[in-house]
A and B are shown apart, each in its own frame.
Chain A
Amino acid sequence: MSLTDTTSQARRRDLRIPLAIVLLAIALAVPFLAGRYVTHALIIALIFMLPAHGLNLLVGYTGLLSLAQAAFFGIGAYASGLLAVHYGTPFYVNVTAAGLIAGALALPLGIPALRLRSTSFVMCTLGFVIIGQAIAKNWISLTRGDMGLSSIPKPEFALGPLSFVVSGTTNYYYLTLVICLLATLAVWAIVRSPAGRNMVAIRENETLAESLGVPTWRYKLIVFMISAAFAGVGGSLYAHYLTVVSPLTFQMYYSTTVLIIVLGGGAGTISGTVIGSLLFVGLTEALRVAPELRMIAYGLCLLALVFWFKKGFAPLINRAWVAIGGSR
């Protein structure tokens, strides 16, 4: 690496690292500064950030609009719940299995779905959510149907004779925060890699990418699987947080929420997805205290978005970033 490269990187780091430290400090201090309810709202926001990160890879970077995130979210939740209830496996096993199972199931679902174009693909992914719910409702011997799975244990970490149960809201907040940080780093790594560049090429012009040797079909399938794995991990966290899973986990509403997070935050930007989750989920959860205002505030937010921020809030974030002296 040349000398000029390192200096320009160092100049950029000047701002990035302090900002990251400040944000991390705020994130860590939240449970002490804010009340229990706000912390709870943030946990939900962080949980939904996971399927949103996955969807951002699909919609924002690869250009594939999918409504299947709720299906994989539900698959992850049920996988975790069933493992915990029937086999008593520890949390880290469940969360890993949830990601892997959701990712693996995305392969047979993605192979036919990704052959479809634009709107047909969207409808097909919507079908996955409906099928998921139907299975959860009717495979009673496994899922207990509408009764759902209850008393899923809170995460427990055992190290030799020591064991620690993540029971309180504050503890669960930290657990979710750590997983979200790892997920955000993973997304960052993917979009920064040469594969991320190929994904953008597919989004921009699939035929041209194909003519330059990019195996677009295989990339789309892999990204679909990765996005499902993210949703699966989110579902697992959801199951262990609420300690119950019901067929309602497979809900269209969740797919649209995740889509609003990504499009509203700014598709194709990581910061957009992070801020979108906090705004759209955190806000609606926080507004539960005033139920009559909640959906109105949510609706107004969407209207403002459509009229004034067609590209989501990401350009606004960029402007703020430049205003405080950040480069690019």
Chain B
Amino acid sequence: MSTHLPILEIRNLSKSYGAVRAVNDVSMHIERGEIAGLIGPNGSGKSTFFDCSTGLARPDTGTVILDGQDITGWSLNRIAREGRMLRSFQKTVTFKALDVEENLIIAGQMFTFPSLISTFGIGGMARRRVAGLRERARDLIKMAGLWEVRHQPAGNLSGGQQKLIQFASMLMPEPKLILLDEPMAGINPKIIERVVETIRYANTSLGVSFLVIEHNIDVVTSICQRVIVLDQGAKLVEGLPQDIIQDQRVREAYLGG
């Protein structure tokens, strides 16, 4: 696979809900190894754009190319499993009734077992695979600083800790690209630091590319190499974070809704 190809390329993506054009002819790409930011005022189409790129919603028109492969119209689970493009959700974060370790093991299973039928096995092969997953899960749990709570139901933990679980879960399958939908929303500053650290670690040490929707502008400027701004469903501008926050059009979009 040639390395100068972008990891994700989206061409002319549009999506309407009834009369509302949520996303209007947006094109963008994410470079391999990049952390890109996606910002915009509320209702600018960021989440719809995410949903259409990851298979949760079907775009009306447009093409999604992941690592050189056209994945337009693939389902959410197939994009995750075969494309290794994972996404987070704003609200939905963990399997609340299950403990932290189980949460991570579930996240890795479909990438470890070669077929759906093989997941019904309980023989030595299946047990070895799960044991391997457990080991990897424990490494990631340590990295996320959740070792002490690993046997607790995820629902008992704080919102920030649950975001860390979700984040660690997405690293289980050795993803190529992770799309984060407001990872810092509603969590305390201490955990924000930890999430930022984890994103940097995943990016530099594991080679994961990122596209991050985030309202916390400090976080955006500190981790993103490039920022794309959406406004009213269309791409307004893209560029370096420091240029973007100075940009007059961006200020108007945020202030003069």
| B110 and A213 form a contact (CB under 8 A) | yes
B110 — which chain A residues lie within 8 A by C-beta? 198, 212-215
Cα(A157)–Cα(B86), bound, Å:
55
Query: Using a Cβ–Cβ cut-off of 8 Å, how many residues does chain A contribute to the interface with B?
Result: 25
A192 adjacent to chain B (CB < 8 Å): yes
A195 touches which one: B80, B93, B119, B129 (CB < 8 A)?
B119
B173 — which chain A residues lie within 8 A by C-beta? 212-213
B121 touches which one: A193, A200, A205 (CB < 8 A)?
A193
A213 touches which one: B81, B92, B96, B120 (CB < 8 A)?
B81
| A197 and B116 form a contact (CB under 8 A) | no
| B119 and A194 form a contact (CB under 8 A) | yes
Cα(A262)–Cα(B34), bound, Å:
51
B130 — which chain A residues lie within 8 A by C-beta? 194
Cα(A200)–Cα(B98), bound, Å:
9
A211 — which chain B residues lie within 8 A by C-beta? 54, 56, 76-77, 80, 86-89
A214 — which chain B residues lie within 8 A by C-beta? 77, 106, 109-110
B116 touches which one: A192, A201, A212, A218 (CB < 8 A)?
A218
Q: Find the B residue at minimum CB distance from A218.
A: B116
| B105 and A197 form a contact (CB under 8 A) | yes
Cα(A231)–Cα(B73), bound, Å:
37
A208 adjacent to chain B (CB < 8 Å): yes
Interface string of B111-131 (1 = CB under 8 A from A): 101001001111000100110
B219 adjacent to chain A (CB < 8 Å): no
| B120 and A190 form a contact (CB under 8 A) | yes
Cα(A215)–Cα(B109), bound, Å:
11
B109 touches which one: A192, A194, A207, A222 (CB < 8 A)?
A194
Identify the interface centre among B54, B76, B106, B113: most chain A CB within 10 Å of its CB.
B106
| A216 and B98 form a contact (CB under 8 A) | no
| A210 and B76 form a contact (CB under 8 A) | yes
Number of interchain pairs (Cβ within 8 Å): 93
B206 adjacent to chain A (CB < 8 Å): no
Known A204-B95, A209-B106: A215·B81 in contact at CB below 8 Å: yes
B113 — which chain A residues lie within 8 A by C-beta? 194
B67 adjacent to chain A (CB < 8 Å): no
| B126 and A194 form a contact (CB under 8 A) | yes
Known A194-B126, A213-B77: A204·B96 in contact at CB below 8 Å: yes
| A194 and B129 form a contact (CB under 8 A) | yes
A189 adjacent to chain B (CB < 8 Å): yes
| Interface positions of A from 159 to 210, Cβ below 8 Å from B | 189-190, 192-195, 197-198, 200-201, 204-205, 207-210
A198 touches which one: B89, B94, B106, B170 (CB < 8 A)?
B106
A208 — which chain B residues lie within 8 A by C-beta? 89, 92-95
* Minimal beta-carbon separation of B15 from chain A (angstroms): 18
A298 adjacent to chain B (CB < 8 Å): no
Q: Find the A residue at minimum CB distance from B80.
A: A213
B65 — which chain A residues lie within 8 A by C-beta? none
| B105 and A213 form a contact (CB under 8 A) | no
| B122 and A201 form a contact (CB under 8 A) | no
* Minimal beta-carbon separation of A186 from chain B (angstroms): 11
B86 — which chain A residues lie within 8 A by C-beta? 211-212
B119 — which chain A residues lie within 8 A by C-beta? 193-195, 198
A309 adjacent to chain B (CB < 8 Å): no
Identify the interface centre among A193, A219, A222: most chain B CB within 10 Å of its CB.
A193
Cα(A68)–Cα(B56), bound, Å:
30
Q: Find the B residue at minimum CB distance from A268.
A: B97
Cα(A43)–Cα(B102), bound, Å:
38
* Minimal beta-carbon separation of A324 from chain B (angstroms): 24
Known A207-B92, A211-B86, A212-B169: A193·B120 in contact at CB below 8 Å: yes
A200 — which chain B residues lie within 8 A by C-beta? 95, 98
A192 — which chain B residues lie within 8 A by C-beta? 122
| B77 and A198 form a contact (CB under 8 A) | no
Q: Find the A residue at minimum CB distance from B173.
A: A213
* Minimal beta-carbon separation of A125 from chain B (angstroms): 23
B107 adjacent to chain A (CB < 8 Å): yes
| B77 and A210 form a contact (CB under 8 A) | yes
| B122 and A193 form a contact (CB under 8 A) | yes
* Minimal beta-carbon separation of B67 from chain A (angstroms): 16
Using a CB–CB cutoff of 8 Å, the interface residues on chain A facing chain B are 189-190, 192-195, 197-198, 200-201, 204-205, 207-216, 218-219, 222
Having A189-B122, A208-B89, A222-B116, one finds 19 other A-B pairs with CB under 8 Å, namely: A190-B120, A193-B126, A194-B109, A194-B120, A194-B126, A194-B130, A197-B109, A198-B109, A200-B95, A207-B76, A208-B94, A210-B76, A211-B54, A211-B86, A212-B77, A212-B170, A213-B81, A214-B110, A215-B81
A-B contact pairs, 6 of them (CB 8 A): A194-B121, A194-B126, A205-B92, A207-B89, A207-B92, A209-B106
A-B pairs, top 5 by smallest CB distance, nearest first, are: A213-B81, A213-B110, A213-B80, A195-B119, A204-B95
